[in-house]
Structure 1
Amino acid sequence: MPTVVELISYPVKGCAGVPAAEAELTPAGLRHDRTFLVVGPGGVFRSQRKDPRLAVVRPEVSADGARLTLHAPGSAPLRLDIDFGTGSAARSEVGMFGAPYRAVDQGDGAAGWLSEVLGAESRLVRVPPEHDRVTDGLTPGTSGFADSSPLHVLSLATLDDLNRRIAAAGRPPVPMDRFRPNLVVDGWDAPATEDRARRVTVGGGVLGFAKLAIRCAVTLVDQRTGGKAGPEPLRTLASYRRVPEGGVAFGSKFSVLETGKLAVGDAFEVTEWGTD
């Protein structure tokens, strides 16, 4: 039986991941995942595509979920009480991939800290309580500020297959963190098995397949240094993982059908398979 070997959330979109031994699975994915967003002038979201230094910002959410701490090399930590936007608190207008959203600004202190760390005018915002985004795919769902579906699943077999191909071209392997998965699964012999899973029971939750994960320039960023490290993995992926809708696919996105608790070591049981 395949099992979950890593659980990673990304409280601030684009910033470093937070590994955990166990996590709560909410309708929007792992608890706290992509609930915060860094935006630039005009409320346009920042991404490692253009701001790779986001990778070195390490978020930490307190156990009670009320406080956020941000760490970055060479800077004193930023500690703030989270503004959840309850009551009649003002909303900011932000944009992500051309779509408008409302968000709760986290104040000038966070804005100043991020602007200094990133070297560009920035503000930190959070999803408001009324956030009701609907994501697309075979199984629709919801998420905070994730690109689309709330859970990204990637198997070790899929990464191993890629790295064998990269090694054959005489280039060094790429680590799992380049792909920023939420659940890493081990126990399958064949690569891309996650692409055929349509319904999954894992821990106390149930997942439904949404779509393949189309990869972008974020995979070229060294997640430890925040520097561009390409051309891999996109060069090799383009040789065997192109998809008809455009781009290259690697890993799969899932929506949450039933919430529950997840833990490293949980069985990843596929109860329904697709044919392609």
Structure 2
Amino acid sequence: MRVSSLVTYPVKGCAGAVLDAAQVSATGLEHDRSFMIVDADGAFRSQRTDPVLAVVRCSVGDGTLTLEHDTSGSVTVSVDRDSEARDITMFRSPMRGIDQGDDVADWLTDVIGEPSRLVAAPRDLDRVTDGTRPGSAQFADSSAVHILSTATLAGLNSRLDVPLPMDRFRPNIVVDGWDSPHREDEVREVTIGGARLAYTKLAIRCAVTTVEQSTGVRTGPEPLRTLGDYRRGRQKGVAFGSKFSVVQDGTVTVGDELHVASWGESEL
């Protein structure tokens, strides 16, 4: 089993950036969900309600963040992670974020069509996530790292009339080499490159999977309809892929082997 792709998502809900190698820390791949878009009330925005975010591209430079959109052009902001944080919410839970200023807020408002602002995770966010092996994360939905295998996607696509690409599921680490689907559900501890990860929970899927990532358009009931036929678990919703916490920092590179230290039974 080897890593076939690495993707980080600097702004929650926006397009991912494909990497050849990534430093993995307690909060996941470098820059992953370091930023989040909020509405006028401070509630987070995602593709669940704003599918256009899928076509907002992100790049992080030396102390800057650049956002790009085909019709709205681009905006670059000097990243501020040290000013006083404001109150925000994610899934109605209170959090804190540092506002990144009016220029990027105006640009996002134009793209989305509703008042929006960009916040960054404070350096001292110190968020604790849940699961079998709790860890940390910035603005990810739950755990720091999402792993999905090509075998798992192939298993789903064999059931669909129109196959879906991997980016529908927005994984951080794509794994190739397993000969059967959903083996990532059974991994309990794994070393990849210099990083060691521990299983936290199954990845429960939402309406974001119905958004075509190349167009930012919601396409219909798939894949949730089909996943509901065979991947509905004890948890609310349908499971596809698995989430992991980081128990040892390190660099992960495309092509790295997975060394699984322990296995368990799927929680499905």
TM-score interval, smaller chain = over 0.9
Give yes or no for the alignment of 1:103 onto 2:97. Answer: yes
Deviation digits for residues 176-224 of structure 1 (CA, Å, limit 9, x no counterpart): 0000000000000010000000000000000000000000000000001
Residue 81 of structure 2 corresponds to which residue in structure 1?
84
Residue 58 of structure 2 corresponds to which residue in structure 1?
59
Deviation digits for residues 15-59 of structure 1 (CA, Å, limit 9, x no counterpart): 000000001001100010000000001100001000000111000
Q: Which 4+ stretches in 1 moved above 6 angstroms? A: none
1-structure distance, mates of 2:85, 2:136: 20
Contact residue 215 and residue 248 of structure 1 kept, 8 A:
yes
Give yes or no for the alignment of 1:275 onto 2:268. Answer: no
Deviation digits for residues 65-110 of structure 1 (CA, Å, limit 9, x no counterpart): x01100001122101111112xxx2221100011111110000001
Residue 70 of structure 2 corresponds to which residue in structure 1?
73
2-structure distance, mates of 1:252, 1:157: 13
1-structure distance, mates of 2:2, 2:147: 12
2-structure distance, mates of 1:118, 1:269: 43
2-structure distance, mates of 1:200, 1:126: 30
Alignment partner for residue 148 of structure 2, among 151, 154, 166? 154
Residue 230 of structure 2 corresponds to which residue in structure 1?
240
- Following TM superposition, by how much is the alpha carbon of 1:228 offset from its aligned partner in structure 2, in angstroms? 0.5
**CA RMSD of the aligned region, Å?**
0.7
Give yes or no for the alignment of 1:197 onto 2:187. Answer: yes
Aligned letter for 1:57? V
Residue 44 of structure 1 corresponds to which residue in structure 2?
43
State the TM-score, normalizing by the size of structure 1: 0.95
Contact residue 174 and residue 232 of structure 1 kept, 8 A:
no
Contact residue 220 and residue 231 of structure 1 kept, 8 A:
yes
Residue 221 of structure 1 corresponds to which residue in structure 2?
211
Residue 230 of structure 1 corresponds to which residue in structure 2?
220
Residue 246 of structure 2 corresponds to which residue in structure 1?
256
Aligned letter for 1:252? S
3-state secondary structure, aligned to 1:59? strand
Residue 266 of structure 1 corresponds to which residue in structure 2?
256
Residue 6 of structure 1 corresponds to which residue in structure 2?
5
2-structure distance, mates of 1:229, 1:203: 37
Aligned letter for 2:17? V
Aligned letter for 1:22? A
1-structure distance, mates of 2:142, 2:236: 16
Residue 117 of structure 2 corresponds to which residue in structure 1?
123
Q: How does 1:138-153 map to 2 (within 5 A)?
A: 138-153=132-147
Residue 137 of structure 1 corresponds to which residue in structure 2?
131
1-structure distance, mates of 2:226, 2:53: 25
2-structure distance, mates of 1:26, 1:201: 13
2-structure distance, mates of 1:113, 1:126: 16
- Structure 1 unaligned runs (5+)? none
Contact residue 12 and residue 36 of structure 1 kept, 8 A:
yes
1-structure distance, mates of 2:73, 2:189: 44
Residue 20 of structure 2 corresponds to which residue in structure 1?
21
- Following TM superposition, by how much is the alpha carbon of 1:159 offset from its aligned partner in structure 2, in angstroms? 0.2
- Following TM superposition, by how much is the alpha carbon of 1:230 offset from its aligned partner in structure 2, in angstroms? 1.9
Contact residue 203 and residue 263 of structure 1 kept, 8 A:
yes
2-structure distance, mates of 1:84, 1:248: 35
Residue 206 of structure 1 corresponds to which residue in structure 2?
196
1-structure distance, mates of 2:259, 2:212: 32
- Following TM superposition, by how much is the alpha carbon of 1:129 offset from its aligned partner in structure 2, in angstroms? 1.2
1-structure distance, mates of 2:220, 2:164: 10
2-structure distance, mates of 1:275, 1:20: 31
